[in-house]
Structure 1
Amino acid sequence: MRENGAQDDRDAFEGGLGAAMKQAGEGFSVAGRPLVDGGVARGRRRAVLRRGAVVTGSVAALAVIGVGGTYVTGDIGVSQDGGNGAAVGAQATDKAGRTEEPSDPYTGQQVIRTLEELLPPGKFSKQTGRGTTGEGDRKDVHAPYASVVYDDGHGKAAVSVSLDRQHPDRKLPEGELSCPDKNLNAFESCSATTLEDGSRLVLFKGWEYPDRRVETKRWYADLLTPEGYRISVTEWNAPAEKDAPVSRPAPPLSSARLKALVRAEEWHPIIASLPEPAQPPLEQPAPQGQNGDVILDKLIKQLPGRLAVKASGGQETEYAYVVVDDGKGESFVQINVQPGRSDVEGELFGPDAKVLPDGTKVTTSQGPGEKGGDGVQMWTVDTLRPDGFRVVISAFNAANQNEPSTRETPALTLPELKKIATNKTWRP
């Protein structure tokens, strides 16, 4: 039995956009490229690391989304990001390059109806959606999506889909349509495969919050076909992405059903009606900032000899991490290397900052970790050269920020962190 009553498209857009952006951040991680968690300090100090951390999710973009040119999942309408979660919707597609008007446009109601017809029998409520031409006050938006609350008799669950179209020759950003780094984003399971028809598929099972502050689960499927059709479906075990009590042990659709849903041919006519994306440039612009692999190599070479590297990773530019162990437990260490950050000087380097003979400003902090893991402590040294070249490094008393602490203090001391951050080797 279906309870029709989609809300107006403007409300849907506002709700879905936030969700999509969130998702995009997680990855395209999964949903997009996994958003690297480069935040280093607290409060505003974290915010200024936006350039150093990706979002998988990798990924993201705003296709409706991102884990960062990636559009991870989330709930679009109900609320998306999850990263490639619920509304794996908005991708990082260049909408500005689309000039043709879509043919045979689809309304938001038609997108909602398609989602409902493809789901197993059940009751539907709180439907929101947007069609292929944009509706209401946003006729310039080409990012169709649908979001519903679905009840199969075992509890209500938010389910959303986002659709987009990109040029077949567009090169995916690093990390997009791949699984997130488990040291940065905890999850139950994830697979990223290339199907027999050449499509790229990510199937993800995780939580709305990696630190599991609540038991809201977010599962999603993210598909990109050789034609450039992007379909993302996200589901939760609650009637909303956030701020709603868990209503069932797990989301309603298994990985097999999610796979079948994103591969359904019914989505193709809707996406095909979107304006044809512009041809991508023959040469993609080179990423700005130092290469992440180079940063990682420099970091490892400067670690004290007592530390054994157990894991490592990072992102394409500006960020890297290691998990080290001195025999007393694993410790997560992350670093951002960012040129041109004079804009944060007044915000992060106040009158109490120490000034070295070469003019480098240095601040230190010790406090709780950013992700909320039980007992996690974060020690940070932040440095800014006179020309705006910034190096900020943090160490934790845990193998990652999402899980409880594994040792009393981080494996590196503040003086050791300062020595690394101020080393001249960071200059390109």
Structure 2
Amino acid sequence: MPTDDLPVDDLLEERLGNALHRAGNGFDPDRRSLAAKGEARGRRLRSRRRIALTGSVAGIALVGVGGALLMPRTDEGRAPAATSTSKIRTEKHGRGMSAADMIRALEKTLPKGTFSDEAGRPSDDPLGPYAYAVHDDGHGKAAVSVAVNLVDPASPQAVEAVTCPDRSSAGYDACHTSTLGDGSRLMIFRGYEYPDRRADTKYWYAQLLTPTGRQVNVSEWNAAAEKGSPVTRPEPPLSPAGLKRVATAAVWRKAAEGLPKPRDTSDPTTTWRTPADGEAVLDTLVSLLPADVTVASRGDDDQEYAWVIVDDGEGRSLVQINVQPNMGDVEGQLFGGAETLPDGTEVVTKKAPGEKGGSGVEMWTADTIRPDGLRVVVSAFNADRQDAAATRPAPALTLSELRAIATSAKWRSLS
């Protein structure tokens, strides 16, 4: 049974936070770090990647930067042992499905019930085909989504997406991987929207990777929304068997037909870069901050992610950054229409609402990717936390200042 993957978010183009998945009540620095790291991983898988990318998945994936999103999310990864990897470029591929087709297909694969809040993207959307709906089978409303992608099935990112995360660093109830009859790899994950379980929202998903590189991600929650909605039922509507059935549905093969087709250009000079150390990311971020801000608080994750709270005399402002090597496989999905600098770096800047529900929170982002696949995403907020109300009219850093940070040559030396 073939299939395809990718989790990213359109209706919750927050996701993208996902994506960049995805934080909540009583955030302290450690929780903020954990949540943001999850978002970064999510975007990579979703293409991402949440994720973007990722506003959300595109960035933020978003970020997504749903990796990519760009996936929607998933939690912890491990550094591959490969010493080299192929550079993935994209070429156009025809046919596929419309947004309405994607929504209908998702609803037909789900148990009988009612549907609301539908949203979708067509196969030729730069972020990839996607469908979302709130499903009620009579036992409570539940958000359900599907995302499809084409990847290099041998890439470390694709393999990571169907590898269960380390339970010691990612709280979940169960995770199981299997190999299907056609050689596809399937992972069924049953965990929580918040690994620290500050809310009872459960997050379950199936991630499928076929030998030909089709990725399919089916995600579900036991609430009518991924975040900010009360739990409506003990568990999401699809059992592990149900997630497998939806993820392996033949219809998603057609959805992948309109996606850019991965093409291996086998650049022998491209090497697999190890993830950047979190402390080094933090130190570099601080060194690149404008002179007119002071750092009130700071923190980092073990790798790739760091944050600071800065004050320019007009209030505190959160700034966070992800430095992700080996992201070339999501370039076509997250950087369509991007500005290209003389050195080949692609740059996208955007202003979007915050992703965590804080009233009036704005998220300004500069997202970049180098020719070698190094992605640097930096965002600033008009508050010192995303889940609380805005405390100032705009972030302390301008888009130009964020862009200067993201495009700095200093990032090349970290991984």
Using structure 2 for the length normalisation, give the TM-score: 0.53
2:137 matches 1:152: yes
Which secondary structure does the structure 1 equivalent of 2:91 belong to?
A: coil
- Hey, what's the Cα distance between the residues in 2 that align with 1:338 and 1:287? 22
Amino acid at match of 2:212: E
Which residue of structure 2 lines up, in the alignment, with residue 98 of structure 1? Answer: 90
Q: CA separation of 1:167/1:175 partners in 2, compared to 1, >3 Å: closer, same or farther?
A: closer
The Cα of 1:286 is off from its aligned counterpart by: 3.3
47, 57, 60: which one aligns with 2:44: 60
Query: Within 5 A, what are the aligned runs for 1:299-378?
Result: 316-318=275-277, 340=284, 342-343=287-288
In 1, are the aligned partners of 2:46 and 2:71 still within 8 Å (CA)? no
- The 8 Å contact of residues 57 and 177 in structure 1, kept in 2 or not, is answered as no
Please list, as runs of the form range in 1=range in 2, the aligned pairs for 1:25-174 lying within 5 A after superposition.
57=41, 60-63=44-47, 65=49, 88=71, 97-100=89-92, 102-134=93-125, 141-172=126-157
Q: Which residue in 1 is equivalent to 2:15? A: 19
Distance 1:250 1:88 in 2: 21
Alpha-carbon distance in 1 for matches of 2:38, 2:194: 17
Residues 366-411 of structure 1: CA deviation (Å, up to 9, x unaligned): xxxxxxxxxxxxxxxxxxxxxxxxxxxxxxxxxxxxxxxxxxxxxx
Q: Which amino acid aligns with 2:47?
A: A
- The amino acid across from 1:97 in the alignment is R
User: What are the within-5 Å matches in structure 2 for residues 213-228 of structure 1?
Assistant: 213-228=198-213
Figure out how many residues of one structure are paired with residues of the other and give that number: 266
SS state of the match for residue 13, structure 2?
helix
Distance 1:88 1:132, change over 3 A: same
Q: Secondary structure at the match of 1:17?
A: coil
**Residue equivalent to 1:396:** none
Q: Show structure 1 runs of 5+ residues with no match.
A: 1-11, 27-38, 135-140, 292-315, 320-334, 351-426
TM-score, with structure 1 as normaliser: 0.51
Q: From the CA coordinates, give the structure whose radius of gyration is larger.
A: 1
Change (3 A) 1:89 1:164: farther
Alignment of 1:220-299 (within 5 A): 220-283=205-268, 285-288=270-273
- Contact 1:56/1:175, CA 8 A, preserved across alignment: no
Deviation readout 1:267-308 (Å, 9 max, x if unpaired):
1012123232232534473355xx6xxxxxxxxxxxxxxxxx
Q: Which runs of 5+ in 2 are unaligned?
A: 1-7, 75-85, 297-413
Give the superposed CA RMSD. Answer: 4.4
Q: Whose relative contact order is higher, 1 or 2, with alpha carbons under 8 Å and at least 6 apart?
A: 2
Task: Report the more deviating stretch, 189-198 or 154-163.
Answer: 189-198
Percent identity of paired positions between Structure 1 and Structure 2: 32
Quick one: distance in 1 between partners of 2:218 and 2:258? 19
Counterparts of 1:142 and 1:217, CA distance in 2? 25
Q: Distance in 1 between matches of 2:31 and 2:202?
A: 27
Question: Contact 2:162–2:207 at 8 Å: present in 1 too?
Answer: yes
Deviation of 1:204 (Å) = 0.7
